[in-house]
């Protein structure tokens, strides 16, 4: 595959040189366009193959950075954790758990939606 790619590149460069000095005839322009299209397709195939090979390698060997990224995410999660709320100038830690899991009517929620009833 690489040999064909190099041959096509050389052919395109040769035609570009002729175009710069003498100009190209219609059939030469057509040939250069064909060569460029073929080269583009071959390079896309090569990139796709390399991408597939890297995925196979990753699946077989795993990722050395997994522990790093898990630690990074856990630290960020810990940093973003809500430990309490300041309510009427008083810091309350127990309110966070109740607020996250209980609606004002006493229903249990897991996604912060408001209850459908009028809560008093």
Tens digits of pLDDT across the chain (120 residues): 677 888 888 888 888 888 888 888 888 888 888 988 988 888 899 899 999 998 888 777 766 677 777 888 889 888 888 777 778 888 877 755 555 555 555 555 444 444 444 444
What pLDDT is recorded for position 114? 46
What pLDDT is recorded for position 112? 44
Whole-angstrom distance, CA of residue 84 vs CA of residue 32: 69
Beta carbons of 97 and 106 less than 8 angstroms apart: no
What pLDDT is recorded for position 99? 52
pTM score above 0.75:
no
What pLDDT is recorded for position 96? 55
Whole-angstrom distance, CA of residue 41 vs CA of residue 31: 15
Main-chain dihedrals φ then ψ at residue 51, nearest 5 degrees: -65, -45
What pLDDT is recorded for position 91? 81
What pLDDT is recorded for position 52? 92
């Amino acid at each position: 595959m690489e040999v064909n790619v190099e041959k096509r590149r050389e052919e395109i460069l040769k035609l570009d040189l002729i175009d710069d000095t003498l100009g190209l005839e219609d059939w030469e322009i057509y040939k250069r366009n064909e060569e460029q299209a073929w080269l583009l397709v071959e390079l896309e195939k090569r990139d796709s193959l390399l991408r597939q090979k890297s995925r196979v390698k990753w699946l077989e060997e795993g990722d050395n950075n997994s522990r790093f990224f898990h630690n990074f995410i856990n630290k960020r999660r810990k940093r973003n954790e809500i430990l309490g709320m300041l309510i009427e100038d008083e810091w309350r830690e127990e309110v966070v758990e109740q607020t996250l899991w209980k609606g004002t009517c006493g229903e249990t929620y897991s996604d912060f939606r408001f209850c459908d009833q009028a809560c008093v």
